[in-house]
Structure 1
Amino acid sequence: MAPMLTDMPSDRLNALVKHPFHRENGERLIGFIKDLRECHSAEDFVTFQRELLLATLAANRARAERSRVIKRLRKGQSLPADAPDLVVGDPRDVEDWRLESDVLERVGRQLRSIGDAMAWRAFRYDRRYILALRRNESPGPMTLSKEGTVHEIQFAEQQWIENRCFALLHDITDCLRIGDVTVFRDRGDDEQDILLYELKTNPRRRESTQLTRTRLAAEALHTGGPLPGPDKAVLVETGVPYATHMSVLSDALGRAHQEGLKTMRVPGQRGLLALDIAAAGNRWDAEEAARQFHAAYAALLRRMRLTVQRICFSSGDSAARNTMAVPWGIYPLQPAQCAGLIADVLVFTVTLSSDDLVDELGKHGLDAEWVLPSGAEMQTAQPVMIIRGHGHQVTMARAGLEQLVLELSDLQVWARGMDQLLRKGKAGRQPWPYFADEYKVWA
């Protein structure tokens, strides 16, 4: 597991974000986001994926080279003759090589986040495909040393040359983990066929587990069957048009760019704090910046009267770490702002109270109970709230709550969606809701 930024000493964190590789990739992210927004045809997506593939393979190869050097130095051996150049530091110091490896891990993750944005755009912002195809372990870094990767790239090229179809490589993303490739075939009139492929390099090898996951994902999408996995989950259409308050986030990030940090109210009794690290660094030293942040956050909580049990999520260090999360690259913000969120030079935090969430559900006739103990740390699969209505109940865990908070979802819309979810509930099934017209938010 790659180290989290919050677990790093301040000097190492500073060295990481200021490393030339990290800065260069920050600029490259802006270009990728601009180019992705211009992707409309199959040819556009094919060209975009080729460029992203080159950058991804280069970053993963560079990290693998540094990992090899680190292993030799830890054994007390000399540098290999073909060792790459260390960009910053002493080539004899293993910690300097570790820093560069950590930087490249982050660069690779940032590029996978762009891959996720490409996937969401290719699927026309239909969350169902992400919910279905995310349910598997990560295949690890994409590299040409894997026979399967070479075969998948060749298959994608063949689809374009022979059929003029865009074939999306799943391993270039973080969120697509079932199947190897998705092919998009244009049917005219703005319609498309979406075909999921599980490829085999050896046609005689049986891969029943992978094929079963692929079949279940396809059935979940097209016939309402259970999603892959042991939790008996199903997709449930709420029919409620999705809505968010992204304009508040855009305003807050713009003001933070001028002032260093900015706090704002979000409809639904939520508090938002946005931080522009470069702008803050221009105004204050590190100690004063931290003091300003904590003072602004405390004032925001008092102003919003968020004094009971609080729910707080931050954008920080989350790129390509959560397969359910909408990637920053498709947020309706300026490309530089999206890139800043991916690279963690822009950070925002949203806070609301558990009571306000329960009250909003109550307005729609639902009985909600907050079950996370006061002061307890929210674990990944830990139940945090139980919602009851229409003879059914659903348990909400961290993932659903994080989605609600960081997407600045409209709480009334979300509560109506929960009402429809319970109306359509199926006994013994864990429902995963999706809303209508999401493309109007993200496109």
Structure 2
Amino acid sequence: MPVMLTDMPTDRLDALIKHPFHRDTGERLVGLISDLRQCSTPEDFAGFQRQLLVATLAASEARAQRSRVIKRLMKGIRLPADAPELAVGDQHDIEAWRLESDVLERVGRQLRSIGDAMAWRAFAYDRRHILALRRSEAPGPMTLSKEGTVHEIQFAEKEWSEHRRFAMLHDLTNCLRIGDVTVFDTPRANGEQDILLYELKKNPKQQGGAQLARTRMAADALRVNGPLPGPGNAHLFDTGIPYKTHLNTLCDAFAFAHREGLKTMRVPGQRGLVAMDISAAGNRWELNESIRQLESAHTALLRRTRLTGRHIRFGSGDQAARNTVLAPWAIYPLQPAQCAGLIADVLVFTVTTSSDCFIEEIRKNGLDARWVLPEGAEMGPSQVIAEVEGYGRRITMTRWEIERLLLELTDLPTWAEGIKQLLRRGPASGQPWPHFTDEHRIWD
């Protein structure tokens, strides 16, 4: 499994970020994001998906080729006659092949993050669809060596050629993990549109099984608010409250960082933001010094913010196509080049707050809240971080919800009011997944 950027030695990190494949993809991302933002008709989406599909399949095949070479070299077998050319390094150096494989793994995730943005836009930025269709295992590499992939592509092409309907391929995304294809039917005169979820089988006789059951549950969760697939008797809950963020602060921070390399700002809700433009910082400092400057700026910001309680810090680094709850970088209200920079980790930011800030905001709404994560304990993805009580009910919060609040710079009073509505009107049992209204006003 490829090493996270935050765990890499600085020399390897530098080599990965500067690799020609990584630089070329960064430039391609800008064009893809710009093209996606112009998509409005089924024809637009179908054409965009073909473009993304070609890039994704090429990246998957290139990585598979390098994996085969690495396996041969590990066994002491000479290079195959049809081995691809390395972009950088000695053909007989296994570490050069490993670097290129890691770069291509990142390229694949970066393209999948564009697929996530395509899904959000196609669903009109309605987070309910993402929350319902994310609850399964992550997809493997998309490759034409899989019969299922070929069948799904053929299905999508047929939907367009015969019915002029956009059929979105889930394997181009990271966030759509239930079902194989979503088909967007032709809108009716009143603007309403049917959205159809398909679990495809090459053999028509193979219609049963757990996959189909999950697909039906996800469809019912969206249609009649039935239970979501997966454990916990989870249900969607509409807070009825418009979503608000402070992402304009991030836009301002990146504009300054583009000139100076680094910028710190305070965000409403007692949060501290640190943004860095790697290229601009590289014009002032070496990589190790840039990292030192980032941490020094963060420390100074914490002194000014005067946070009490346990500090909580999340960053954008290496997050492309990882967190299925978080909105993808490509739909953030930033310039396409800035969104591409976030995906490629040449722009990075961190947001820090404290446990006391969350507890205080919740208590302002007349609710009781406790931070229950033990001191020194790691925040696992499903570990309970906090408990909130009110109206005779109790709910728990996990790491992913906290991470989303920080990295989306969610307005904390809006979020706290949503929690209040959930306790007052939400389902009597099980795990509720709240969502807000009018998210398209943030992301569109």
Give 2:408's aligned residue.
407
Q: What SS is found at the alignment partner of 2:375?
A: coil
Q: Distance in 1 between matches of 2:340 and 2:308?
A: 33
Give 2:19's aligned residue.
19
Q: Distance in 2 between matches of 1:206 and 1:121?
A: 30
Superposition pairs for residues 14-93 of structure 1, below 5 Å?
A: 14-93=14-93
Which AA in structure 2 matches 1:28? R
Residues 181-215 of structure 1: CA deviation (Å, up to 9, x unaligned): 00001223432210001111011224410000001
Moved more, 123-132 or 376-385: 376-385
Report if aligned partners of 1:301, 1:307 keep a CA contact under 8 Å in 2.
Answer: no
Give 1:381's aligned residue.
382
Give 1:165's aligned residue.
165
Which AA in structure 1 matches 2:16? L
Which AA in structure 1 matches 2:102? D
Q: Distance in 2 between matches of 1:211 and 1:317?
A: 33
Residues 142-182 of structure 1: CA deviation (Å, up to 9, x unaligned): 00011011111111111111111110000000000100000
1:126 is the counterpart of 2:152? no
Q: Distance in 2 between matches of 1:264 and 1:136?
A: 37
Give 1:218's aligned residue.
219
Which AA in structure 1 matches 2:3? P
Task: List gaps (5 residues or longer) in structure 2.
Answer: none
Q: What SS is found at the alignment partner of 2:194?
A: strand
Report if aligned partners of 1:182, 1:195 keep a CA contact under 8 Å in 2.
Answer: yes
Q: What SS is found at the alignment partner of 2:249?
A: helix
Q: What SS is found at the alignment partner of 1:55?
A: helix
Q: What SS is found at the alignment partner of 1:252?
A: helix
Question: How far apart are residue 357 of structure 1 and its match?
Answer: 1.0
Q: Distance in 1 between matches of 2:249 and 2:15?
A: 32
Give 2:434's aligned residue.
433
Report if aligned partners of 1:392, 1:425 keep a CA contact under 8 Å in 2.
Answer: no
Give 1:391's aligned residue.
392
Q: What SS is found at the alignment partner of 2:384?
A: coil
Superposition pairs for residues 285-304 of structure 1, below 5 Å?
A: 285-304=286-305
Q: Distance in 2 between matches of 1:77 and 1:368?
A: 61
Moved more, 369-378 or 210-219: 369-378
Report if aligned partners of 2:394, 2:423 keep a CA contact under 8 Å in 1.
Answer: yes
Report if aligned partners of 1:264, 1:272 keep a CA contact under 8 Å in 2.
Answer: yes
Q: Distance in 1 between matches of 2:189 and 2:96?
A: 54
Q: Distance in 2 between matches of 1:339 and 1:330?
A: 10
Seq. identity, %: 67
Report if aligned partners of 1:234, 1:431 keep a CA contact under 8 Å in 2.
Answer: yes
Q: What SS is found at the alignment partner of 2:183?
A: strand
Q: Distance in 2 between matches of 1:39 and 1:104?
A: 27
Question: How far apart are residue 70 of structure 1 and its match?
Answer: 0.5
Question: How far apart are residue 231 of structure 1 and its match?
Answer: 1.5
Q: What SS is found at the alignment partner of 2:333?
A: coil
Give 1:272's aligned residue.
273
Give 1:7's aligned residue.
7
Give 1:245's aligned residue.
246
Aligned-CA RMSD value: 1.0
Report if aligned partners of 2:373, 2:384 keep a CA contact under 8 Å in 1.
Answer: yes
Give 1:340's aligned residue.
341
Task: List gaps (5 residues or longer) in structure 1.
Answer: none
Report if aligned partners of 2:10, 2:287 keep a CA contact under 8 Å in 1.
Answer: no
Q: Distance in 2 between matches of 1:74 and 1:292?
A: 40
Q: What SS is found at the alignment partner of 2:60?
A: helix
Q: Distance in 2 between matches of 1:135 and 1:288?
A: 41
Question: How far apart are residue 240 of structure 1 and its match?
Answer: 0.6
Question: How far apart are residue 307 of structure 1 and its match?
Answer: 4.2
Q: What SS is found at the alignment partner of 1:386?
A: strand
Which AA in structure 2 matches 1:152? E
Report if aligned partners of 1:182, 1:194 keep a CA contact under 8 Å in 2.
Answer: yes
Residues 288-323 of structure 1: CA deviation (Å, up to 9, x unaligned): 322321221111001000243111110110001111
Question: How far apart are residue 353 of structure 1 and its match?
Answer: 1.2
Question: How far apart are residue 285 of structure 1 and its match?
Answer: 1.8
Give 1:364's aligned residue.
365
Q: Distance in 1 between matches of 2:196 and 2:205?
A: 22
Q: What SS is found at the alignment partner of 1:236?
A: strand
Residues 398-441 of structure 1: CA deviation (Å, up to 9, x unaligned): 01111111110001100100001111233331000000100000
Moved more, 181-190 or 71-80: 181-190
Q: What SS is found at the alignment partner of 2:235?
A: strand
Dislocated runs of 4+, deviation >6 Å: none
Q: What SS is found at the alignment partner of 1:238?
A: strand
Moved more, 140-149 or 371-380: 371-380
Q: Distance in 2 between matches of 1:261 and 1:336?
A: 17
Moved more, 302-311 or 380-389: 302-311
Q: Distance in 2 between matches of 1:291 and 1:71?
A: 38
Compute the TM-score of the two structures, normalised by the length of structure 1: 0.98
Q: Distance in 2 between matches of 1:298 and 1:392?
A: 39
Report if aligned partners of 1:319, 1:327 keep a CA contact under 8 Å in 2.
Answer: yes
Q: What SS is found at the alignment partner of 1:76?
A: coil
Which AA in structure 2 matches 1:322? N
Give 2:114's aligned residue.
114
1:154 is the counterpart of 2:154? yes
